[in-house]
Structure formats: structure tokens, C-alpha cells
Structure 1
């Protein structure tokens, strides 16, 4: 999705969107129509997902969506006042604005995907779930255990080769402790 989206592509998409969806707030229609009619703004308009993470983002929803009707994010301020956001867009036309559109099957819309850009403000781990983190921790624990076990086994083998009984007993005790700790900590994945 890191392709350059032309101004004409954006205009065509916005017209298509307005022709095919009824928006929850009439001010949203005003904003989108204003963008179509002012080329200088469209250069700085980017359609993204998760606009709430951007420094200047707008969320607009169609009636077919269960999402909020309208949100404007600027730095750490959030408002539902579409007129204030419209004023901000007009006054700061050189600043990028990131728009998220919510409508039924938006993820499957070829028209939307054609203008959709990557969100550069999205946290890297945004799509990582709690279960993913837990699984990663288990895998890391299992890997760490296998590494320690291998190193201990190599040291035990070396102690046996050298016929060092004291070292063998010490390392064997360490191996038993490692296995006991692992039983408590590591589940089979």
C-alpha cells in the first residue's frame, strides 16, 4: 500500500464514496465535497486505517457502519464537532490530514483499497494480541531452556570425558534444577 495516490484518484474515490454511501453526519459530506473542489487540499489528504493515531485525523462513518459518526483528532485533542475540524482543515491546508472512512465491507472495497495508504503513525505492535505476546513469551522460554540444557549437557559430557567426578556431580545437579524449573515454567507448545 505504499504507492503514491494521485489527486485524480482521490477525487474519483470521494465522488464514488459520496454517491454510494449515506453518511451519519451531513458535515462529513461538506468536508469531503470541499476536498474534492480544492486541489491544494487533496495533495495533503491521505486515506488510512486507524486515523486516531495520526497527528491530524478524521474518522467519518456511513450509516451502514457501527462505528462513531465523526471524530477529529489533532495532536492529543479529540472532538466530535465537525465544524471545528472543517475550520481547522481550511486554516491549515498545508498540513497533512489523515482520513479513515468506515462503511460496510470497507476492507473488501477495491475503490477504497486503491486510495488507502499505510498509516505511518500506527504503533508497530498495534495488531499484536495478548495471546500473541503470551505465545511469544512461551516460545522464548522454551528456546532459552533448550539452549541452557544443551550447554549443560555439553559440559557434563566434557566432565565425563575428563573423568572429573566433582564437576560431573555439580553439573548434574544444575541439570536437575533446570529441568525442575522448566516443569513449572514451560508448557509444551
Structure 2
């Protein structure tokens, strides 16, 4: 998604999540409660579905997830200490951070999917990939159309032969010859 996500939308989702899911890490609940109660910090949180190569990312999982209960990535450093995150929230509330939440059905949960903000680079890569798919599909469709037109013309030529219609046979044969030459 490339839309702006309001702090109230983020807070409403986190409240729903805390109400409906048990977390693997009790301390992770403290982090989410902190975010819900400190909207100035939540304002700088970006929900993500992929782990960015750089930046600060908090990963929290519910009991139904196979992922670890809590992990914090700060650039290349990995930590499983939630108190470090709370300390950073208090010391640097305006730092941009990513939040990834794992729970059963997250990939189809519309409220969560609307919060996820896809980086522009990933959107551009998707655009390029789908443009390539479009070109391949277009060339396949053109080939199928040419093959269908040729098969129809051959059927018409056979019919002209069966009817012993020499004029129609010559006309269709010329069309077939032109079609074959244009496809080379």
C-alpha cells in the first residue's frame, strides 16, 4: 500500500490484536500497550510484511504463529530483549521503526493488510515484473491469434477444394502465402 496510515488506524488495530490474540512473549504485550498509549511514538511506526535489510524492525508473534515471539533488529544487530525497545522508545520517540506482526490469518486480514506500507522500491520491482509478464502474455496471445487465423484459413482452403471452387481456392492460397511471408 502506498497510502498514508493514520495513528488512530494503527492504534485501533493494535487494540484489536491485543484483545483477540495471545502473544508468545509477555514483554511484547508491554511494547504494544506502550505504542497504543503513546501515539507520538506510534506515529513513527511503519507496519511491514517483509524484514527490511536496514533500519530498526520489531517482530512480534502470536501463539498461533511459528515465528519467534519477539525479535528486535537494529541494522545488523539482533536482540530478543524487549526492554531495549522500550528504552529506545523513551530515549528516541521520533525514530522511524518498522513493526512486523505474525498471527494466524495475517496475510488475509484486511485491517492488517491496509496498515502495511510497501516500500517504493518493492512497488517499482513489482511494476517491472508485471510489465514483463504483460509483454510475454501479449506475444503469446498474438501467436495464438496467428495460429488460429492460419488454421481457419486452411480449413477454408480445404472447403474450397471439396467444393471444387478454383477461384476461391486461388484467392485463399494467396492469402495463406501472404500470411506465411509476413510471419517470417
TM-score w.r.t. the length of structure 2 is 0.63
Moved over 6 A (4+): none
Residue 74 (str. 1) matches residue 71 (str. 2)? no
Unpaired runs of 5+ in structure 1? Answer: 126-189
Q: Deviations over 1:160-184 (max 9, x none)?
A: xxxxxxxxxxxxxxxxxxxxxxxxx
Instruction: Give the length in aligned residue pairs.
Output: 127
Query: Are the equivalent residues in 2 in contact too, given 1:53–1:121 (CA < 8 A)?
Result: no
Q: Which residue of 1 aligns with 2:14?
A: 14
Q: Deviations over 1:89-144 (max 9, x none)?
A: 2211111110000011110001201211114686x88xxxxxxxxxxxxxxxxxxx
TM-score w.r.t. the length of structure 1 is 0.62
Report the CA distance between 1:46 and its aligned residue.
0.8
Query: Are the equivalent residues in 2 in contact too, given 1:51–1:58 (CA < 8 A)?
Result: no
Q: Deviations over 1:75-98 (max 9, x none)?
A: 211101111122112211111110
Q: Which residue of 2 aligns with 1:60?
A: 60
Q: Which residue of 1 aligns with 2:43?
A: 43
Query: Are the equivalent residues in 2 in contact too, given 1:25–1:70 (CA < 8 A)?
Result: yes
Q: Which residue of 1 aligns with 2:178?
A: none
Unpaired runs of 5+ in structure 2? Answer: 126-184
1:33-182 equivalence runs, <5 A = 33-119=33-119
The structure with the larger Rg is: 2
